[in-house]
A and B are shown apart, each in its own frame.
Chain A
Amino acid sequence: MDRQIKTLQDKNSYLDLQKEKRITLLEVLDRALDKGVVISGDIVISVADVDLIYLGLKVLLSSVETMERLRGSPFSGAAEEPT
């Protein structure tokens, strides 16, 4: 029984870690792709040969929500530090 619980906890902490990494990445993307000094009119970023910066950002917004809904784990406290 103990063992089972331990495994479960390990699995959860692994998921938490993965989630935290993912949130950190989303937060970085949210800034580095959309904010900061924009000194040129048309910045084209290529994602696997497709140019889709704006589509990317929409996906980004909804993905925070989706992640929250699917995982149902605590949103608060994650990604305390981005690095």
Chain B
Amino acid sequence: MGLAKRIIPCLDVDNGRVVKGVQFVDIRDAGDPVEVAKRYDEQGADEITFLDITASHQGRDTTVHTVERMASQVFIPLTVGGGIRKLEDIRTMLNAGADKVSINTAAVFNPEFVGEAAARFGSQCIVVAIDAKKVSAPGDADRWEIFTHGGRKPTGLDAIEWARKMVGLGAGEILLTSMDRDGTKNGFDLALTRAISDAVIVPVIASGGWEIFNISSMGSVLAARMQYWRQVFFTSDSTPFPKQKRSWPGRALKYVAESAPNGDDQGSRSR
């Protein structure tokens, strides 16, 4: 027992609506983020991550409002990411009720921003999101690089070195997305996750590879899915998906889960 490994549903939100992408394209509408978050909360999610992919400034106001509504109804930790570029953006989201913010592109262009943010608001609320893609040739030693802009732009930065640097500057958590796996339904990239987790002291949350299920049956399915992840992800090298999943129609929702490099399932908070 002891500390439970976290399962964290991740909502991609555009203009106040949950959307879904496969490999960061083919976006589809999937409902009200607050309702979706409440369902997750009821079903035993350990936290909620809210990734704002809204491009416009007007849309940002919608996001703040959505975060406020969510924080008034969901009493588990809430991380908000997407478009966090200035200290003021962090203050706005924390005031709206977010517990943590996730910094991605801004960290790449201005690493010191992570240091300033951690100094001002505390490391506990600064998550650095890392989008990594494998760049080593098959057969060579594994090497992953940081990509920005939804995986389209390479930066030349080595993912492991970058993670170390971010934690050195004050990141309290790493949200790691494998751009090779994101949306492919092939599960998490465990080699990448382990390499990063071994390199830093702070918790590493792995993302990439998601499940598809019918939103109408979300209640019962969610609890089962979370239990499934707890059992499978933390105990085996591969992350096979259950067969019946492939026949489930409807919406896709992404999970992220805390890495447990050598780990076993250390228990669930769900009753």
Task: Tell me if chain B binds chain A.
Answer: no
